[in-house]
Structure 1
Amino acid sequence: MLITTNAIVLSKLRFRDNDLIIKCYTQEKGVVSFLLRGVLKGKKGSSKIAYFQLLSQLQLVLTYKSGRSLQSIKETKLNYLYSSLHTNVLKSSIVMFLSEVLSNTLQEEEQNETLYSYLEHTLLWLDAQSEFANFHLLFLLKLTKYLGFYPDTSNIDAAYFNLYEGKFEMKSSNKYTISGENLILLKQLLGTTFDALPSIKINAKQRQSFLSMILLYFELHLGSFKTPKSLQVFNQVFS
């Protein structure tokens, strides 16, 4: 059947000589993968590839067949033309890193309107900003709300946070309990919005430490999660 849906590009993979496999998070069907035949051949194909940059926001008309692992796209158009997300070096590094995280964490073929809206609006926010060094930290933290393991803030004044349990505690109970700078920053980020994010000032070392912590948090709560391959390059860019 034909379905028209908004979609965000999560990954692209070369297949055979001239084909691409594109994975998208769609508004109507959740995660869907597509086979684009012949797009790496000739100028006509290269114009199609331009649509499928990582985290691009598209409108797709697709021929959807339930149970098929690779669907086919009938029509593609841009929903938004980013002004800086793919041209600013720092922002494109964030895009590469977050697309890998999202491709890793979003697996299921099911509709989730609130998650789609979150991705759509936060990417547009990032595209419009000139101060965004901590964007990925708040993005990942708030993403846990849609993935089902957002920190329990009912005891937020406690001196420790248990990554394994996802809650604040009065004492250290296991090796996954954090305190110190990471705890302070966690509490700050839990109490802020994207618009207020520039007011949180941390250095590169603190940023990397907190990122390592939140990726461990993902790993503890998502059995299939793997540390992104782009992490090392990403940290170098933001050091």
Structure 2
Amino acid sequence: MLKLENLSVGYPAPRGVVLADLDVKVEPGTFICVLGRNGAGKSTLMRSLAGLQPALNGAAVLDQEDIARMRPQMRARRVAVVLTERTASPGLTVDDVVSLGRQPFTGWQGHLTSEDRTVLADAMERTGASVFATRLFDDLSDGERQRVMVARAIAQTSRLMVLDEITAFLDLPGRVEIMALLRNHARQTGAIVLLSSHDLDLSLQLADDVWLLDGNGGLIVGTPDSLIANGHIGRAFDTEAVKFSIPLGRFELVR
């Protein structure tokens, strides 16, 4: 289980608190999409949950242990992270990069067991990365890189996956495929998958739950249907040009 306990995230003054006093419980096997306008704090929240940025108050607790206080190796075993930053890996092939997902389990010598190799092959096959396994990672397109990074995260066999805007460089079929894969991964393995996204339509179709950042330092949690029915999606995203239609379940241009 993942629990946010009175969690506040943000930065030192003058920027200060971005999200405050978050109290949320997440059951294993849940696929969650984190939604919000630009600047609402999605990346700040994701980095704090991953233990990459200190919280201002409270804690994110995974299986009764504060993620920020975990030893680095233990955190690498329990939490897989894919961020938006472009990663450079000079000289490494796709197979090498995905294999790094097993590093927390291999010991100082880094020897892969037959079980490790089975996990790696499965992760690459499921994400569609196996077809370019021998290519240099730095030669891949942005969309191909994201598939490889998702494969590496799956290969970590972690309890929590934190993925920040990973579908931004994928075309529509690729976004559907990866998001459906992550939902199935959560359900099949019992992992908790947190995905921040600007793809509202797909998120509302595929997420088990949505974390909606309201832009005022708060977090609204619920199923996609409940957030739509209660008008939260419209209040968060409506503009003078675009409005969310509750009956249709999508955004429409205002004429």
TM-score normalised over the length of structure 2: 0.28
